Amino acid sequence: MKKSKDIDEMIQQLFAGNRRAASRLITRVENETEDHHEIMKKIYPRTGQATIVGITGSGGAGKSTLTDHLIQKFREQGKTVGVIVVDPSSPFSGGALLGDRIRLQRHFLDDGVYIRSLASRGCLGGLSSATYNVIRILEAMGMDIIIVETLGAGQDEIDIIHIANTCILVATPGMGDDIQAMKAGIMEIADIIALNKSDLEGANRSLRQLQTALSVASLEEGQWAPRVIPTVSIGSRPEDLKGIDELASAITEHQEYLHTTRSIDKVKFERVEEELGLVFKDELQRLIFKGLRGTGKKRKYINSIIEGKNDPYSVVEEILNTYLIRKKKK
Amino acid sequence: MKKSKDIDEMIQQLFAGNRRAASRLITRVENETEDHHEIMKKIYPRTGQATIVGITGSGGAGKSTLTDHLIQKFREQGKTVGVIVVDPSSPFSGGALLGDRIRLQRHFLDDGVYIRSLASRGCLGGLSSATYNVIRILEAMGMDIIIVETLGAGQDEIDIIHIANTCILVATPGMGDDIQAMKAGIMEIADIIALNKSDLEGANRSLRQLQTALSVASLEEGQWAPRVIPTVSIGSRPEDLKGIDELASAITEHQEYLHTTRSIDKVKFERVEEELGLVFKDELQRLIFKGLRGTGKKRKYINSIIEGKNDPYSVVEEILNTYLIRKKKK
């Protein structure tokens, strides 16, 4: 454990925008070192002001290339940009997929950009409290915009709604049946849909399908109407690209919508609510399993249940009564 | 809350195989009524002996039709069969997709078959403790085989490994890139892969891809080698069907493998370990949120965090100190 003085110094450097301090603090928070609570407590008051943009979609849809162009646009507007790429690691094989993150490297020399890969929780599914904490660190570092890129598979893409102010779903032509599935849920989280690779065959049909799906969604008075923007994110010449300006403008418009309607308050509330729930769960599990670990008690309990002599509910009651008791009301 | 005597009577009826009692108890457990701990405590000792078969795969792969045929096969062998269909409800729209569950209805008049749909946890992802409890209820009812059908999307299909003794992945020809993704994780959970719709074009190629993927997987000495079985589960004439007998035999062989190698002990241990963890989490959350609910305290805490006056870690510490304290060691 680092001395508290060292941590304080790192945090001061972070507040000054120091990338090295950010990297070191992120590593501590990601690894949940003993002092990570202390770190988070100290940086929280300096957070909550950044624009958080979520980008989700299937593998190969072009999230990274779109992110790359968005960084460029925001930099042209004089804004600093933090990027968090949540990489799903196989729950069995381990190891994050690097894929085409490589192209983001061109921003590595720009002091106004900070990019970091994070592993998702794998087996447990969903974004970890570490992801939420790393976003806070990038906010404390002074980043104006934070892009969180998640693979649109399973829980991560649903969790993103709890963090991002603006959610972009990256779709591609010819998704066919997927449109049906999307209607059921995913589309309801997207503020903006980028129909990427819109130069491919079938793009017009997909565009119409998406627009139809969106048009039948019932909106309340004054509610943001999700929109589809056809994009092309890969091309050897700049004129091959398409829709990047429109996408960046749509993000700005959605932010303006959030602020003029005060919907931003709800977004912020939900984000903190989610964080609070995660910290709770982590903390409680830590407390309980600290009491069980290493003693062989857990194995004994499990075997007694298998043998039909006990059941999980009685075991949990017993452990709670042994390790925790509720204080009486004064 | 039902009187304890009524519950006892229902449980006795359940042990006698009464379907109505099963339905009523399942509803109580699913809705987490106040007495559901009591119910589970009483039925646990009568559980743990059934063969649990997990069936997972994408929507439209043919899980329901395969389940339908497997029920038939097991019934011909004189075994009773419980079926749990975990339906993903949209985290936003709610409501389970019924799809082609209808075809399972032909078993509804057979006393040796009990079928139940359960909603998955939606937003939270993964199988709920209710799912685990419902399986226990079907075991206590005396079902020899319990089939748990989950949509292969996200967390449910990974969780299934914690419950099922034998996991069947239903794949279809022409999955293309999906094979790549499957290699990374899902295939490692499948004991048997049913390549359904194997009369379609491209089936041979998919079969070879799957067999290659399986053949390169490293196995330990004596470990079960996952196998692919080409199947056809829809057809107007019985001779149109394919691979159903082989699939049923493979399940039996895998069960024999588990028992002769004593791997079944590990399977049972992991199942109880998972259940214990879920009960812990549920119970702790209930305790904590009971303290917070209705008092407006939660909102106050969240707002203080948004305003930068507080942070989740300090809030959680405060709540834990207020509502729970650890007993001193005697």
Residue A132 has which token pair? Answer: 């939420």
Task: Please tell me which residue, A171 or B98, carries the higher pLDDT value.
Answer: A171
Nearest-5° Cα angle at A295, A294 to A300: 120
In the numeric block, the tokens 């549920």 are attached to B282
Residue B281 has which token pair? Answer: 């989490």
In the numeric block, the tokens 């707002």 are attached to B303
A324-326 and B324-326 strand pairing: antiparallel
Last residue in a domain, options B262, B283, B311: B262
Q: State the amino acid at position B266 in one-letter form.
A: K
Residue A33 has which token pair? Answer: 């070192």
In the numeric block, the tokens 């624009």 are attached to A51
**Which CATH number covers residue B229?**
3.40.50.300
Write the pLDDT tens digit of every residue in B127-153.
677 888 999 999 999 999 999 988 765
Residue A63 has which token pair? Answer: 């999230």
Q: Which residue of A has its CA nearest to B288?
A: A280
A257 and A159 fall within a common domain: yes
A81-87 and B145-151 strand pairing: unpaired
Any domain includes A272: no
Percent of chain B with pLDDT over 70: 76
The DSSP symbol for B190 reads -
Any domain includes B68: yes
Among A51-60, B127-136, B202-211, B283-292, whose mean pLDDT is lowest?
B283-292
Calpha distance A299→A231 (Å, rounded): 55
Mutation target among A39, A42, A272, A330 for the B interface, most CBs of B within 10 A: A272
User: Which positions of chain A have pLDDT values less than 50?
Assistant: 89-100, 122-125, 154, 177, 184, 327-330
Chain-chain contact of B324 with A326 (C-beta, under 8 angstroms): yes
Rounded to the nearest 5°, which phi and psi values hold at B248? -60, -40
By Cβ distance, the residue of A45, A125, A281 closest to B126 is A125
User: Who contacts A11 (Cβ-Cβ below 8 Å, separation ≥6)?
Assistant: A21, A25, A39, A42, A43, A140
Chain B residues whose beta carbon lies within 8 Å of the beta carbon of residue A189: 92
Chain B residues whose beta carbon lies within 8 Å of the beta carbon of residue A59: 177, 181
Any domain includes B175: yes
Query: Would the pLDDT of B79 be above 50?
Result: yes
Q: Which residue of A has its CA nearest to B154?
A: A154
The C-alpha of A175 sits at a distance from chain B's nearest C-alpha, in angstroms, of: 13
Chain B residues whose beta carbon lies within 8 Å of the beta carbon of residue A309: 45
Chain-chain contact of B276 with A302 (C-beta, under 8 angstroms): yes
Strand partners, A166: A53
Among A78-92, B148-162, B297-311, whose mean pLDDT is lowest?
B148-162
- Give the residue among B301, B258, B321 at the shortest CA–CA distance from B50: B258
Residue B16 has which token pair? Answer: 């006698």
Tell me if ipTM is over 0.90: no
Rounded to the nearest 5°, which phi and psi values hold at A179? -55, -40
Q: Which helix (H) or strand (E) holds B163?
A: helix B155-163
Q: Is there a contact between A302 and B272 (Cβ–Cβ < 8 Å)? A: yes
A211 and A182 fall within a common domain: yes
Any domain includes A131: yes
Query: Would the pLDDT of B304 be above 80?
Result: yes
B196 and B98 fall within a common domain: yes
Chain-chain contact of B48 with A306 (C-beta, under 8 angstroms): yes
A157 and A22 fall within a common domain: no
Any domain includes A306: no
Strand partners, B149: B55, B85
Chain-chain contact of A45 with B311 (C-beta, under 8 angstroms): yes
User: Who contacts A316 (Cβ-Cβ below 8 Å, separation ≥6)?
Assistant: B276, B279, B280, B283
Chain B residues whose beta carbon lies within 8 Å of the beta carbon of residue A153: 154
Q: Which residue of B has its CA nearest to A44?
A: B311
Calpha distance B65→B70 (Å, rounded): 9
Chain-chain contact of A153 with B154 (C-beta, under 8 angstroms): yes
Chain-chain contact of B188 with A92 (C-beta, under 8 angstroms): yes
- What total of structural domains would you count in chain B? 2
Residue A100 has which token pair? Answer: 């085409």
Mutation target among B92, B303, B319 for the A interface, most CBs of A within 10 A: B92
A139 and A189 fall within a common domain: yes
Chain-chain contact of A93 with B185 (C-beta, under 8 angstroms): yes
| Average pLDDT over all residues of chain B | 80
Any domain includes A309: no
Calpha distance B101→B90 (Å, rounded): 18
Mean pLDDT over residues B241-265, rounded? 95
What's residue A130's pLDDT? 83
What's residue B111's pLDDT? 86
Chain-chain contact of B308 with A184 (C-beta, under 8 angstroms): no
Any domain includes A276: no
Calpha distance B263→B259 (Å, rounded): 6
Calpha distance A56→A153 (Å, rounded): 9
Any domain includes A33: yes
B54 and B122 fall within a common domain: yes
B277 and B226 fall within a common domain: no
**H helix runs in A217-295, sequence order:** 244-260, 263-292
Task: Please tell me which residue, B39 or B88, carries the higher pLDDT value.
Answer: B39
- Model confidence at B72, pLDDT cuts 50, 70, 90, reads very high
Chain-chain contact of B40 with A326 (C-beta, under 8 angstroms): no
What's residue B250's pLDDT? 97
Calpha distance A330→A267 (Å, rounded): 37
Q: Which residue of B has its CA nearest to A287?
A: B326
Angle between helices A312-323 and B263-292 (to 10 degrees): 50
Residue A197 has which token pair? Answer: 């690779």
The DSSP symbol for A166 reads E
Q: Which residue of A has its CA nearest to B161?
A: A123
- Model confidence at B120, pLDDT cuts 50, 70, 90, reads low
What's residue A177's pLDDT? 47
A14 and A140 fall within a common domain: no
Range of the domain at A211: 48-263
A32 and A52 fall within a common domain: no
Chain B residues whose beta carbon lies within 8 Å of the beta carbon of residue A46: 308
What's residue A100's pLDDT? 40
The C-alpha of B204 sits at a distance from chain A's nearest C-alpha, in angstroms, of: 24
- Give the residue among B68, B41, B71, B67 at the shortest CA–CA distance from B54: B67
Hey, is A98 helix, strand or coil?
coil
- Would you tell me how many other CB atoms lie within 10 Å of the CB of residue A296? 9
C-alpha distances (whole Å) from B289 to each of A277, B284, B314, B323 are: 10, 9, 17, 10
Last residue in a domain, options A210, A228, A263: A263
Q: What is the dihedral of CA B282, B286, B287, B292, to 10 degrees?
A: 140
Chain-chain contact of B316 with A280 (C-beta, under 8 angstroms): yes
The C-alpha of A236 sits at a distance from chain B's nearest C-alpha, in angstroms, of: 26
A97 and A155 fall within a common domain: yes
By Cβ distance, the residue of A272, A302, A323 closest to B272 is A302
B165 and B270 fall within a common domain: no
Hey, is B281 helix, strand or coil?
helix
B120 and B230 fall within a common domain: yes
By Cβ distance, the residue of B41, B93, B188 closest to A185 is B93
Last residue in a domain, options A263, A282, A306: A263
What's residue B173's pLDDT? 86
Q: Chain A to chain B, count of Cβ pairs less than 8 Å apart?
A: 181
